[in-house]
Structure 1
Amino acid sequence: MTRLAVVTGGGTGIGKATAGMLAGEGFDVIIVGRRPDVLADAVKWIGPQATAVTADAADPAQIPAVVEAVAGRTVDVLVNNAGAFLPGDEETLEGVAARWRANLDSNVLTAVLMTTALLPQLRRPGGKIILTSSIAAQRGGGGPYSAAKAALHGYALDLATRHGGEGITANVIAPGYVTDSEFFLGRMTPEGHQSRVDATLVKRAGVPADIAEAVRWLVGPGGSFVTGQIINVNGGSVLGR
């Protein structure tokens, strides 16, 4: 039977590139996101192996739609890519609380809920869990976004520890500055772009395909002995830790 991958945040950017790569590797791919029109465009781009599920992965009531789409099949790969940098008014304690909760929901709860729901169906042995973090988790600068992405590191280490004996691996990919995504939509200036490029050792921005290639390695034979790791894909903006 064809292998199955689930990719959250699969309609744009890194998630879309990852889903397209997995389809090219022969996987059936379920992409999950909140906007049906964006998902529909992504399915056309990925091809007939892709199926879209409209769901907010931070809402427990919407997760069963993804489980239903899996339809009892074994999940070989789960890529928890959903997440966003969410600004907010922090002039009051209420505003601080609202912004932190929103960032934690978007970046952490999405991964926790989807992983928990699909864990019973992950392949044993051989299942792969991948979480998309950020360079911000390691160098700060993003406020609650940095903290939320850092929380994924601890979560992945816990998953790796708890489920390694079942042959399931869990790893984090921490991208640096990546263009061709919606992350900086409306927030990036030419000066900001250049400063981020200058901060790399390779003097270029990343693109979603760079992250998808790291996923390709992790889900392939070469990644079978890799678990509990934070894999930096940032052009040298932050050196290895």
Structure 2
Amino acid sequence: MHIVTGGGTGIGRAIALALHARGKRVLATGRRRGPLDELAAASGGGIAVLPCDNSAPADVRKLAETVDAPVTGLVHCAGGNPAITRPHPTSLEDEKALLDETIAGNLTSSALTVNALRPQMSAGASIVLFGSIAAEHGVGYYGPAKAAVASYAVGLAADLGPQDIRVNCVSSGYIADTEFFSGTLSAERAEQLRQQTAIGRTGTPDDAVALALFLLSPEARHITGQNLHLNGGAFTTR
């Protein structure tokens, strides 16, 4: 079984549908029932869905209880930047609330999901966490939260390696056709992000699908503990 969190929209949805098309059994989670129902319908009922806030222990515990087969792949796409849709904090209490929510949605959700499903993961399984190019640019609290996800993947890979479970992080740049910016991204800013790439092309969910499917496959059996940048050259590693 493959688990895809944040599977109702964007990259998670694309990965869930791609896995289903390749004959994999898929369970997708998301916080909103509507997009999950649409995903299930798009798969002809082949993808099982479960409303779940992956930063909430009770919800993640329910997810683990729902899984009735060994988990061979986990793709954790749940997360986001809540600062995009709210006013700038005007008090320390508001600042803390934003920080807590950002860390919870990205790092806490990763850790809770992995730990809940860890007993059910089979030898040879692959975990793919999603970071962000924001970790390299220090974007508010979202960048640090995603940097923490990438760091978490490194330690987790060492921890799970003896069980023949691989862990990698995909840190994506701007990916079009997702709900990440909640309609707030201007055409001018989107063009700026495109121009920052070396190849002059904006990323798409299919680009993330291709990399995730590779990391989940036996062909990537010697790749673990890595942070793979998916941004068309907008940020380069040395």
In 1, the alpha carbon distance for the partners of 2:19 and 2:222 equals 20
1:80 aligned onto 2:76 = yes
Whether contact under 8 Å (1:84, 1:107) holds in the other structure is yes
In 1, the alpha carbon distance for the partners of 2:43 and 2:11 equals 13
Q: Structure 1 residue 68: deviation in Å? A: 2.4
Q: Structure 1 residue 102: deviation in Å? A: 0.6
Q: Structure 1 residue 28: deviation in Å? A: 0.6
Q: Structure 1 residue 25: deviation in Å? A: 2.1
TM-score, scaled to structure 2: 0.96
Deviates more, 1:144-153 or 1:55-64: 55-64
Q: Structure 1 residue 75: deviation in Å? A: 0.2
Aligned pairs for 1:41-80 within 5 A: 41-71=38-68, 73-80=69-76
Partner residue, 1:119: 118
Alignment length (residue pairs)? 235
Partner residue, 1:207: 204
What do residues 11-36 of structure 1 show as CA deviations (whole Å, max 9, x unaligned)?
A: 00000001111112221100001111
Partner residue, 1:176: 173
Letter in 2 for 1:229: Q
In 1, the alpha carbon distance for the partners of 2:43 and 2:173 equals 24
What SS does structure 2 have at the residue aligned with 1:197?
helix
In 2, the alpha carbon distance for the partners of 1:46 and 1:93 equals 45
What do residues 201-227 of structure 1 show as CA deviations (whole Å, max 9, x unaligned)?
A: 111111111101001111112211000
What do residues 43-82 of structure 1 show as CA deviations (whole Å, max 9, x unaligned)?
A: 11234431000111111111122112212x1000011110
Aligned pairs for 1:1-241 within 5 A: 4-71=1-68, 73-87=69-83, 88=86, 89-124=88-123, 126-140=124-138, 142-241=139-238
What SS does structure 2 have at the residue aligned with 1:7?
strand
Which of structure 1's runs of 4+ aligned residues deviate more than 4 A? none
In 2, the alpha carbon distance for the partners of 1:139 and 1:217 equals 27
What SS does structure 2 have at the residue aligned with 1:171?
strand
Which runs of no fewer than 5 residues in structure 1 stay unpaired?
none
Whether contact under 8 Å (1:19, 1:46) holds in the other structure is no
Letter in 2 for 1:49: G
Which runs of no fewer than 5 residues in structure 2 stay unpaired?
none
In 2, the alpha carbon distance for the partners of 1:166 and 1:134 equals 27
What SS does structure 2 have at the residue aligned with 1:149?
helix
Letter in 1 for 2:108: L
In 2, the alpha carbon distance for the partners of 1:231 and 1:79 equals 14
TM-score, scaled to structure 1: 0.94
Instruction: Quote the sequence identity (%).
Output: 34
Whether contact under 8 Å (1:27, 1:49) holds in the other structure is no
What SS does structure 2 have at the residue aligned with 1:232?
strand
Whether contact under 8 Å (1:53, 1:65) holds in the other structure is no
In 1, the alpha carbon distance for the partners of 2:42 and 2:177 equals 15
In 2, the alpha carbon distance for the partners of 1:138 and 1:168 equals 27
What SS does structure 1 have at the residue aligned with 2:194?
helix
Q: Structure 1 residue 109: deviation in Å? A: 0.9
Letter in 1 for 2:91: T
Letter in 1 for 2:174: Y
What SS does structure 1 have at the residue aligned with 2:122?
coil
What do residues 144-165 of structure 1 show as CA deviations (whole Å, max 9, x unaligned)?
A: 0001000001110111011101
